[in-house]
């Protein structure tokens, strides 16, 4: 669609020379203080012309939307409303979100969010017109949407709704609250005093006006109905003194009443022309000529539109026309009377072709359906289905295909494919059956593109359906068949779809598959090299889910923080933004940053509610259960589990199984062992039938923990062995850590006599935990972990890691490396503001002009959690393109060179991991970590803040631009902003507001555009009534917002500033 062309349903009608209805325009102007104006009157009474002329007279921007039968598809309604906005705001680059399938169960919230954004984008004083509202079905969801549109309209904008019927019940309260003004037939019809003027306007200055008696008769017979006045005036009927009054309540009778006059007035040839072009719901002069071979098409259509004979004209650069729906029906009846079926069928085929060629796709589809032209409709659907589904108009595709006879659809694999695709997210189990039929059809015709696309969509149906993964193994076999018989996936887009589908299928059903590492590598390459935000969000969230499950916390962290900013990217749809937020929540839970997990989870819940995306409601609720369960807040966890259980859908059997799993875990924590045992047995049985790989392992693990509490030790050991075997086979380090830890607990529980064996097992578990940075796990069991942690300390097993683990969970007040003020450090490393190294009191100087690899190695360690990383991860970060042995050799050489700089005992290499020796090496970032970690325990907040400011001299490793440093840098910025906020709140509570302002301003050195800082500054200025300072602060914030390429300033910061300005204005007024 070109920039300057829009379909007639979103274009205001073009005004010919019309009679100026000054009385009604004045009435509308008096009513413009009402948010909503409802105009109701019969067809042909001038509603549309009145609204257009009113908008023209006031010079207000006009957004026009005309309802038709196609609006039964909610996605189409929002699609065309977006086009209506673009038609009115042609230079605007703002993108409004379409109603795509993920919003289906959140229509109310989506609509509210949509209209808030829609109104914000509108020009001041805009009028939003909804014409022909009577065409909305009584049962349509559009009434609910319109109720929301009206409730959200801001001051200064108006909605005008016109139709043939009185307002529905949902607006009755608006009338009583004086928010809606009515203009009905009694006001809209022409009054006697207007008859002379309108008759003079119609007949023209050079023609004789009707006699007084005739004018009186016209008025009495038409009751002021303008269309009746025109027809009576221009027909011989006006001379029939015995004529009866017109019943305008039945417009069909009106057409019958005037049929002879219409024919005699316009002539038989013109009527024949009109009856043929009526086959096209939207008419252009060019198409009218091609359909009828009548070169006078433009003159005929223009003349009739100027005479108001049931035809409207739209557009400026490209003129189009539309008949009144009932007049069109009358014309089509005339077509059937005067032409045989063969001629009509030929005309319909040409009309549909012309509409399609002119990009009137919906109208062409309507003609093809009315004409039973199924082949043409099939071609139209196949050409446009992808675009329509992306626009959120999946229901339109579904309806079109349902109109085609089933026996035809069953033979057409592409129709089956798009049918299944159109209902994939809303009815995934039904979609799967249809897509499987399409797959068989594609095999029959050997369509490679169709086969791969269909295969990917079938895999998606398992994710959306969430019922069972047992058939996935068979579909992976089918993929092997496709790759051998149809090698080479066609096109980058299809290739990406298949890659994600394969990875998702294997991840959920069989991560122990021999080919899984190959597909994992392909996904990692996509994530590494593709810079498109949408693809990075989707692929990154899948990878982070995998890294979480296998317990690779380093890759988990790197991936999560590389996509973290996308959760607030307004240019992305809500779905990928939620996926990135969920990845971040999982990371915070499993890294033990539970407060941040809670904050991000609240953001995700608010985003889902605001945007109307219900697809992840269950997942977000279960994350709430995990979060509060991990915090040992069982009551809160159970309240969220109850919410989750209440909205379970019968067909999503995996959700039912997961509900049982979480209930078992919480009952185990509560000590309800008997109930936990029965639930665990039921869950274990059900989940194994569904073939969901990771939940099966977790089911074995949880069941073993319950069995231990029931003193069923042998059975517990069997389940732990089965779980560990699966975990080793799938290289799932997180489950291995949990499983071996539980085995150690079991050995201690039964008083196993071989202490060496217990310690060896514990060392195995905790070395995995240290290498993978595991500090929290699913179904965390505090009793088990506290017992084995104390045992580890008593027996000197992984002491540093054990201390960190216990500190994270507050089992003991342990610090792995307390600050020693009287100790002379061999090496001191300063990271804030740039890397500075002091060795034995002397500053090390790097004389190389290129990046030093030993210093890069040091920076990688400094950027990692606890300054420790597995060797394999170091090789990936510093030598990503090198083969394994070559990278390992480089790492050994570089480590040797770094030890030459820092000292041989400064870097430890133990059990495959590199770490700084915190007994000899002092690092400012680690000291800062310790200070911030214990900030809530400080009695003297002033001292804490001064200590932090002394340490922080700039950005973390400010000179480094490698990707692996960004997450650590952002982590410190976030922690410092939290401290600034915490300390400023302390100062405000102490009534030390000027100091709080200074602290907030200092916070801007940590991050130039955080909303927390600016909102805090504005609050302080408000209390101190420093209005000029507030103005400078807000301007600085807006400048930083623009500089950081954000779309707009925070609504909360803006609201604070407006509140402050209002307070200032009130004081000035006093």
Flag whether pLDDT at 408 surpasses 90: yes
Claim to verify: residue 427 and residue 472 sit in the same structural domain: yes
- Within a domain: 154: yes
| Beta strands per DSSP E along 452-587 | none
Claim to verify: residue 424 and residue 353 sit in the same structural domain: no
- Within a domain: 936: yes
Grade residue 452 by pLDDT with cuts at 50, 70 and 90: very high
Grade residue 971 by pLDDT with cuts at 50, 70 and 90: confident
Flag whether pLDDT at 210 surpasses 90: no
**Across-strand partners of 161?**
38, 130
Claim to verify: residue 14 and residue 142 sit in the same structural domain: yes
Helical axes 941-951 vs 963-989, angle rounded to 10°: 150
Claim to verify: residue 265 and residue 392 sit in the same structural domain: no
CATH number of 263's domain = 1.10.10.10
Flag whether pLDDT at 1052 surpasses 50: yes
Residue-range definition of the domain harbouring residue 807? 704-816
Q: How far apart are CA 98 and CA 362, in angstroms?
A: 17
Grade residue 815 by pLDDT with cuts at 50, 70 and 90: very low
Claim to verify: residue 247 and residue 143 sit in the same structural domain: no
- Within a domain: 977: yes
Claim to verify: residue 165 and residue 239 sit in the same structural domain: no
Segment 282-287 mean pLDDT: 89
Query: What is the number of helices (H) and of strands (E) in the chain?
Result: 50, 14
- Domain end residue (candidates: 816, 845, 872): 816
Claim to verify: residue 464 and residue 435 sit in the same structural domain: yes
Claim to verify: residue 446 and residue 417 sit in the same structural domain: yes
Tokens encoding 623: 């994350």
Concatenated DSSP letters for 642-666? HHHHHT--TT-HHHHHHHHHHHHHH
Claim to verify: residue 248 and residue 338 sit in the same structural domain: yes
Listed range (65-69, 212-216, 454-458, 569-573) with the worst mean pLDDT: 212-216
> How much is the pLDDT for 326?
67
Listed range (3-7, 360-364, 512-516, 651-655) with the worst mean pLDDT: 3-7
C-alpha angle 362-363-368 in degrees, rounded to nearest 5: 95
By DSSP bridging, strand 842-843 and strand 836-839 are antiparallel
> How much is the pLDDT for 82?
92
Flag whether pLDDT at 1007 surpasses 80: no
Q: How far apart are CA 74 and CA 114, in angstroms?
A: 13
Number of other residues whose CB lies within 10 A of the CB of residue 445:
11
Concatenated DSSP letters for 579-631? HHHHHHHHHHHHHT-HHHHHHHHHHHHHHHHHHT--TTHHHHHHHHHHHHHHT
pTM: 0.67
Q: Which of 186-200, 538-552, 903-917 has the highest mean pLDDT?
A: 538-552
- Within a domain: 686: no
Flag whether pLDDT at 291 surpasses 70: yes
Claim to verify: residue 797 and residue 837 sit in the same structural domain: no
Contacts of 431 (CB under 8 A, 6+ apart): 420, 421, 423, 424, 457, 461, 464
Q: Which residue, 897, 900, 896, 892, is CA-closest to 827?
A: 900
If one compares 283 and 493, the residue with the highest pLDDT of the two is 283
Claim to verify: residue 864 and residue 896 sit in the same structural domain: yes
Over residues 1017-1041, the pLDDT tens digits come to: 888 888 888 888 888 888 887 777 6
Provide φ and ψ at 308, rounded to 5°.
60, 25
- Within a domain: 550: no
Q: What is the mean pLDDT of the chain?
A: 83
What's the gap between Cα 18 and its chain centre? 46
Do the Cβ atoms of 123 and 92 come closer than 8 Å?
no
* Count of domains observed in the chain: 6
- Within a domain: 211: yes
Do the Cβ atoms of 435 and 420 come closer than 8 Å?
yes
Q: How far apart are CA 476 and CA 493, in angstroms?
A: 20
Claim to verify: residue 718 and residue 744 sit in the same structural domain: yes
CATH number of 1017's domain = 1.25.40.10
Q: How far apart are CA 929 and CA 913, in angstroms?
A: 21
Contacts of 1009 (CB under 8 A, 6+ apart): 1037, 1040, 1041, 1043, 1044, 1046
- Domain end residue (candidates: 769, 792, 816): 816
Percent of the residues in the chain that have a pLDDT greater than 90, as a whole number: 27
Flag whether pLDDT at 499 surpasses 60: yes
Q: For the chain, how big is the Rg over CA atoms in Å? A: 36
Contacts of 784 (CB under 8 A, 6+ apart): 705, 741, 742, 745
Helical axes 993-1006 vs 1011-1024, angle rounded to 10°: 160
- Within a domain: 438: yes
- Domain end residue (candidates: 816, 841, 857): 816
Contacts of 141 (CB under 8 A, 6+ apart): 74, 107
Grade residue 503 by pLDDT with cuts at 50, 70 and 90: very high
- Within a domain: 665: no
């Amino acid at each position: 669609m070109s920039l300057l062309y829009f379909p007639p349903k979103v274009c205001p009608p073009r005004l010919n020379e019309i009679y100026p209805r000054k009385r009604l325009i004045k009435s509308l102007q008096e009513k413009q203080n009402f948010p909503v104006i409802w105009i109701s009157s019969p067809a042909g009474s001038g509603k549309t012309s009145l609204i257009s002329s009113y908008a023209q007279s006031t010079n207000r921007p006009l957004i026009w939307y005309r309802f038709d039968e196609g609006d039964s598809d909610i996605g189409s309604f929002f699609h065309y409303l977006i086009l209506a906005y673009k038609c009115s705001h042609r230079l605007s680059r703002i993108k409004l979100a379409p109603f795509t399938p993920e919003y289906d169960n959140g229509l109310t919230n989506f609509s509210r969010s949509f209209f808030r954004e829609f109104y914000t984008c509108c020009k001041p004083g805009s009028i939003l017109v909804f014409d022909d509202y009577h065409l909305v079905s009584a049962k349509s969801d559009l009434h609910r949407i319109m109720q929301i549109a009206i409730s959200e309209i801001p001051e200064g904008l108006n909605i005008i709704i016109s139709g043939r019927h009185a307002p529905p019940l949902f607006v009755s309260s608006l009338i009583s609250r004086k928010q809606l003004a009515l203009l009905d037939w009694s006001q809209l019809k022409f009054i006697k005093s207007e008859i002379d003027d309108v008759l003079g306007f119609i007949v023209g200055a050079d023609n004789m006006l009707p006699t007084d008696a005739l004018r009186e008769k016209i008025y009495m017979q038409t009751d002021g109905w303008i269309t009746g006045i025109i027809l009576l005036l221009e027909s011989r009927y006006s001379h029939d003194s015995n004529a009866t009054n017109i019943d305008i309540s039945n417009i069909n009778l009106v057409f019958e009443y005037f049929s002879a006059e219409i024919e005699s007035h316009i002539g038989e040839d013109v009527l024949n022309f009109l009856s043929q072009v009526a086959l096209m719901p939207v008419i252009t002069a060019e198409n009218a000529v091609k359909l009828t071979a009548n070169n006078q098409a433009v003159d005929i259509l223009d003349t009739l539109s100027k005479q108001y004979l049931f035809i409207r004209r739209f557009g400026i650069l490209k003129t189009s026309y539309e008949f009144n729906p009932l007049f069109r029906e009358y014309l089509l009846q005339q077509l059937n009377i005067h032409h045989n079926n063969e001629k009509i069928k030929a005309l319909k085929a040409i009309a549909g072709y012309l509409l399609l060629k002119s990009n009137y796709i919906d109208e062409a589809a309507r003609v093809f359906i009315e004409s039973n032209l199924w082949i043409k409709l099939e071609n139209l659907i196949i050409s446009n289905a992808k675009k329509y589904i992306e626009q959120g108009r999946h229901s339109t595709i579904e309806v079109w295909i349902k109109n085609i006879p089933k026996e035809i659809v069953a033979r057409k694999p592409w129709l089956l494919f798009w049918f299944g695709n159109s209902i994939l997210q809303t009815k995934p189990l039904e979609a799967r059956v249809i897509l499987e039929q399409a797959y068989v059809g594609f095999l029959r015709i050997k369509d490679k593109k169709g086969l791969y696309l269909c295969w990917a969509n079938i895999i998606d149906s398992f994710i959306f359906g969430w019922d069972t993964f047992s058939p996935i193994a068979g579909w992976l076999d089918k993929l092997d068949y496709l790759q051998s018989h149809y090698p080479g996936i066609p096109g980058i887009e299809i290739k990406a779809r298949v890659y994600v589908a394969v990875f998702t299928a294997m991840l959920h059903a069989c991560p122990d598959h021999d080919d899984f590492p190959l597909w994992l590598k392909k996904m990692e390459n996509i994530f590494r090299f593709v810079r498109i935000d949408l693809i990075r969000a989707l692929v990154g969230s899948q990878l982070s889910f995998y890294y979480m499950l296998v317990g690779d916390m380093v890759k988990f962290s790197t991936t999560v923080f590389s996509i973290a900013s996308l959760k607030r990217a307004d240019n992305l749809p809500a779905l990928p933004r939620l996926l990135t937020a969920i990845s971040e929540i999982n990371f915070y839970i499993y890294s033990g940053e539970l407060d941040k997990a809670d904050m991000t989870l609240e953001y995700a819940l608010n985003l889902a509610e605001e945007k109307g995306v219900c697809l992840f409601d269950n997942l977000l609720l279960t994350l709430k259960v995990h979060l509060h369960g991990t915090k040992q807040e069982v009551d809160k966890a159970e309240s969220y589990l109850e919410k989750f259980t209440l909205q379970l859908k019968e067909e999503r059997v995996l959700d039912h199984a997961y509900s049982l799993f979480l209930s078992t875990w919480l009952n185990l924590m509560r000590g309800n062992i008997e109930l936990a045992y029965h639930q665990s047995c039921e869950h274990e049985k059900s989940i194994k039938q569904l073939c969901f790989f990771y939940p099966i392992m977790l089911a074995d693990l949880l069941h073993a923990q319950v069995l231990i509490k029931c003193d069923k030790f042998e059975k517990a050991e069997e389940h732990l062995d089965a779980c560990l075997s699966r975990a080793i086979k799938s290289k799932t380090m997180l489950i291995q850590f949990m499983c071996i830890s539980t085995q150690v607990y079991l050995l201690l529980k039964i008083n196993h006599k071989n202490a060496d064996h217990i310690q060896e097992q514990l060392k195995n578990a905790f070395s995995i935990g240290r290498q993978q940075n595991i500090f929290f796990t699913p179904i965390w069991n505090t009793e088990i972990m506290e017992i084995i942690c104390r045992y580890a300390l008593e027996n000197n097993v992984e002491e540093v890691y054990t201390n960190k683990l216990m500190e994270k969970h507050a089992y003991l007040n342990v610090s792995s490396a307390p600050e020693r003020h009287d100790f002379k450090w061999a090496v001191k490393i300063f990271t804030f503001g740039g890397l500075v190294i002091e060795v034995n009191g002397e500053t090390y100087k790097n004389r190389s002009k290129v990046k030093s690899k030993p210093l890069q190695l040091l920076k990688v360690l400094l950027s990692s959690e606890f300054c420790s990383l597995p060797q394999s991860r170091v090789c990936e970060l510093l030598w990503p393109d090198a083969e394994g042995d070559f990278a390992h050799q480089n790492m050994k050489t570089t480590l040797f060179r770094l030890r030459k700089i820092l000292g041989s005992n400064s870097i430890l290499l133990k059990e495959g991991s590199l770490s700084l020796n915190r007994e000899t090496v002092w690092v400012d970032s680690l000291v800062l970590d310790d200070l911030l970690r214990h900030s809530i325990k400080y009695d003297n907040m002033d001292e804490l803040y001064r200590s932090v400011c002394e340490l922080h001299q700039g950005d973390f490793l400010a000179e480094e631009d490698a990707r692996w440093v960004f997450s650590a840098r952002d982590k410190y910025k976030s922690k410092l902003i939290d401290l600034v906020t915490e300390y400023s709140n302390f100062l405000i509570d102490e009534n030390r507001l000027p100091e709080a302002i200074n602290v907030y301003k200092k916070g801007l050195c940590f991050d130039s555009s955080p909303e927390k800082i600016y909102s805090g500054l504005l609050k302080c200025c408000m209390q101190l009534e420093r209005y000029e300072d507030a103005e400078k602060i807000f301007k600085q914030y807006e400048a930083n917002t623009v500089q950081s390429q954000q779309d707009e300033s925070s609504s909360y910061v803006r609201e604070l500033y407006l509140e402050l300005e209002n307070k200032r204005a009130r004081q000035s007024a006093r």
